Chain A
């Protein structure tokens, strides 16, 4: 569970980025954070990843007090989160496979596990045939899927996506969110920041609106159990890889994502 308690952030230049934020996000929730540019959305995420510290207030993630984390603990804390960037942040000289493997290698995962896990994640995002390609040979949508795969590969409890569709063709944006949606339905908390209200409207998910550093509206928690059926009726599961996914342990606390043919 993620909890912001009376959190404010004032930057060095006296910019009040966030003011008295109170927000609670349950495990396995999907939350859109919307708001215009400068509303404080990115700041909220930076506080969550401990890139910035709040000027006042408390941030609790899974009963861990984020603000008081020691330097050495921060990297381990970040392994519980997968971050998706607006600009993809792929390494151009590495293949798609290596881009995803990179996240495992730099956290000390043995190569044997890397070789097992990466193809599986590639399949999950529908890029199983494109592992050898370089990012430049991919479309924007595909690149973001690589970014997503990299965020997922270490099996984080939470995916944090800052405008993941910002550099993606609007027609393909839907696909990215749909993929995030699926990942969420498999049991991963998803926090997605966006300013594209139209995109948000197409998904029946919780929406938190920020304006001038304050929360101006929050639809509150949306029952995702009911939603699972709905979603599957409305849109077929992500099928780019022509596989049917079975959601396992959707209601348990396990973070394992499993796929069957």
Chain B
């Protein structure tokens, strides 16, 4: 195709949008909402995956011992823990060491109230080889004499894993829905343009314009709508994430490690917007030309 023709066809695509500005605008807005929703879902899923990895990386269970147990007995318990096949690591944390850790976060005057008494329990930080055998291993740990209680991050890991699994279905459903809605919106918008240009189309057919010439402006229209929506949704998502981050950063410094929307997400938006544009445009014009749009004399 000649470049002059291509320029003409692209210009016509933009004319389609201008000619149906309010409808084009509302479909862009709906598409932005759809893509934004997808973005939110994808970002939540990414964050929860990151969180899971963080938790898994430090999949430590803390095994608390009776607070009045002598240190020699505690070390004996430590070797028993080490014997459990699923335990990979076991570090003793004495009463004093735990207290020292607290002293970094708890104001000093709180310690004054304790009057030299140390109420904390000595503990072991236990790492497991295989988190999925968590239940058995924790039962074995609880069975050891002198073990008071166990708390763990693994409980979190389990919850997160559950959440991730469930959410990945939700994510797929939402993405499929968004694609369908986008296709529907774009093809409907283009159908409206087509009806408003049905005279042009009939004239084009009568003077022997090729189907490519008839189609391309509508496909351009679809691509432009998809592209604008994708760019706006990317921007909106970025801004929303930054704002949210700024709001909760002070409350929980840990969130700053989370990655927000990525370039691959933005590229996916743009790809999806353009693809929906091409497909929406192609479907609706093909259907139109097969039916009433095929007439010349009418």
Contact = CB atoms under 8 A, between A and B. Distances in A.
Interface in A32-79: 42, 45-46, 49, 51, 71-72, 74-79
A89 interface: yes
Given A51-B297, A108-B5, A110-B2, A75 B199 contact: no
A107 B294 CA distance: 17
B15 to A, nearest CB: 10
Interface in B18-44: none
B207 A51 contact: no
Most buried by B among A42, A49, A72, A83: A83
Nearest to A46: B297
A51 B296 CA distance: 6
Q: Contact residue range for chain B? A: 20 to 34
Interface in B169-223: 199-200, 202-211, 213-214
B295 interface: yes
Most buried by A among B4, B204, B205, B296: B296
Contacts of B1: 108
Contact of B296 (A80, A83, A103, A107): A83
A75 B210 contact: yes
Contacts of B258: none
How would you classify the secondary structure of chain B's contact residues: helix, strand, loop or mixed? helix
Interface in A80-136: 80-83, 85, 89, 91, 102-103, 105-108, 110-111
A41 B166 CA distance: 66
Interface string B256-298: 0000000000000000000000000000000000000011110
A173 interface: no
Nearest to B200: A91
A154 interface: yes
A110 to B, nearest CB: 5
A106 B294 contact: no
B111 interface: no
Contacts of A75: 205, 208-211
B207 A79 contact: yes
A83 B213 contact: no
Q: Contact residue range for chain A? A: 20 to 34
B163 interface: no
B200 A107 contact: no
Contacts of B2: 108, 110
A162 B296 CA distance: 11
B8 interface: yes
A196 B14 CA distance: 44
Interface string A130-162: 000000000000000000001100100000001
A106 B209 contact: yes
A49 B296 CA distance: 8
A102 B297 contact: no
A150 B297 contact: no
B169 to A, nearest CB: 44
Contact of A45 (B4, B207, B214, B297): B297
Contacts of B214: 106
Contacts of A49: 206, 296-297
Given A42-B297, A51-B296, A102 B208 contact: no
Nearest to A43: B297
Contact of A78 (B8, B199, B208): B208
B206 A78 contact: yes
Given A45-B297, A46-B297, A107-B213, A150 B4 contact: no
A75 B295 CA distance: 13
Contacts of B209: 75, 106-107
12 contacts: A42-B297, A46-B296, A72-B210, A75-B209, A78-B206, A80-B208, A85-B206, A107-B207, A108-B210, A111-B4, A111-B8, A162-B297
Given A75-B211, A85-B297, 15 more contacts: A42-B297, A46-B297, A49-B206, A71-B211, A72-B211, A76-B208, A78-B205, A83-B206, A83-B296, A102-B200, A105-B8, A106-B207, A108-B4, A110-B2, A150-B207
Which 9 pairs show the lowest CB-CB distances between chains A and B?
A: A78-B208, A79-B208, A106-B209, A103-B207, A83-B206, A75-B208, A51-B296, A108-B5, A75-B210
